[in-house]
Structure 1
């Protein structure tokens, strides 16, 4: 069974000419992309900033991006929601080259760390701090030397570690991610 979670609203606030708080936009996310074809995850790009501290505009406007980009902008942030369908053989049988191509389609081919003998074919690493909040379902966080089942309500703080997500259940898992640009110190 592969039931798709309900869509969600993205509410963006701002200020009117008098400095009073208003709603700028109230709709489903505009940028949605299925990655890897049927059986792949669906990315919902919610918002991103291009600097930290983030500049707060009276009338926030979405920065244009013409494609899905895995990491946040340099010195910026990104929030996205991903629906991970149950994992099938199409994912489990990916080669290193296949995995690199999938990450290239997400704008970050160098993130792929897949190799023969890796714990999961979609292992990857980014120079970011990521907060992952499981909204619905469950998923396994796969690391180099550990894995753990994450369930609805759990929060993962991903600190630039090599990892993959494996949905071994029979339902879609929805996770909200906040990605913050970072730098490795070693």
Structure 2
């Protein structure tokens, strides 16, 4: 899995800006490398907290955001598995991301999922196909997807791992009742 450097800024007690973190992001959840997470609380640039460490799931906190990299390996790496084994592996994968509840309809593909988020996704390298219930689109590097809470899956039919960056924004108005 790739390593991603991040530089996180801060303010000192006098309101002067500096660097809080300069290093490789260490919070990984399956294929996700968490860069930063926010909740619905006010931002405090002096808190001294690595907010990326707060993330333990596929979705952002209520009223919050998630910024992450994610990698999808080529399908050829699991070609030897039966359909049942692929479904089991995908179910375990989503459970490890605390996202099992996000899979209401996996009839098209075992990786299909739906979250109450608006996601801004950019493919950085490789090739990836976005599967939707009725259609699909293949992305090349620097193509963008604005994923608006629809059922979808990512499938890598290429020969190299696909690297994507995503910002997920909580869009569940019920959570802000």
Q: Which band: TM-score by shorter chain?
A: 0.7 to 0.9
Counterparts of 1:18 and 1:25, CA distance in 2: 19
Equivalent residue for 1:130? 119
Equivalent residue for 2:171? 182
Q: 1:89 aligns with which of 68, 76, 79?
A: 79
Contact 2:122 2:145 in 1 (8 A): yes
- Specify whether residues 49 and 184 from structure 1 end up closer, same or farther in structure 2 by C-alpha distance, changes over 3 A only: closer
Counterparts of 2:163 and 2:17, CA distance in 1: 30
- Specify whether residues 178 and 125 from structure 1 end up closer, same or farther in structure 2 by C-alpha distance, changes over 3 A only: same
* Secondary structure of 2:154's aligned partner: strand
Matches within 5 A, 1:1-186: 6-33=2-29, 35=30, 42-51=31-40, 54-63=42-51, 64-65=53-54, 68-87=56-75, 88-89=78-79, 93=83, 94=85, 98-115=89-106, 118-183=107-172
**TM-score between the two structures when normalised by the length of structure 1:** 0.81
**TM-score between the two structures when normalised by the length of structure 2:** 0.85
Q: Structure 1, unaligned stretches of length 5 or more?
A: 36-41
Deviation at 1:96, TM superposition (A): 5.0
Between 68-77 and 162-171, the greater mean CA deviation after superposition: 68-77
Q: Structure 2, unaligned stretches of length 5 or more?
A: none
Alpha-carbon RMSD across the aligned residues, in angstroms, is 2.3
Counterparts of 1:97 and 1:167, CA distance in 2: 19
Deviation at 1:149, TM superposition (A): 0.6
Counterparts of 1:91 and 1:183, CA distance in 2: 36
- Specify whether residues 147 and 91 from structure 1 end up closer, same or farther in structure 2 by C-alpha distance, changes over 3 A only: farther
